[in-house]
Structure 1
Amino acid sequence: MPMRLTKLLGIELPITQAPMAGVQGHALTVAVSNAGGLGSLPCAMLSADALRNELTAISRQ
């Protein structure tokens, strides 16, 4: 099962990082993704400008 999940998601490790609004930004998302897991960005509490800034920071990594 983990092999199917990793293939489906295009990741190396069957690890999904939970988005933690208020305590996490793009840095953890990038770190988890770079380590081979599925990084997540908490964005429900962000304004449109803040979300744009976070997504720009992720895309630059």
Structure 2
Amino acid sequence: MRGIHATALLDAGIPVHTVAQRIGDDPAILLRNYAKRKRTKAADANLTDAIEKFASGLLGK
């Protein structure tokens, strides 16, 4: 359940240090244990949105 919870929070865009504190782990341990998990559609969508926002800021759209 910890893995599902941590992955869901990370996919929702919650910062790594916040998720680590919530589940009682160090951020490095959290990344080592859960960064290998399969990407989810939500994570892909969040990444796409973040890249689009970043690109629009650079291009002045």
- So what's the TM-score if we normalise by structure 2? 0.31
- Identify the structure with the greater helix proportion: 2
- So what's the TM-score if we normalise by structure 1? 0.31
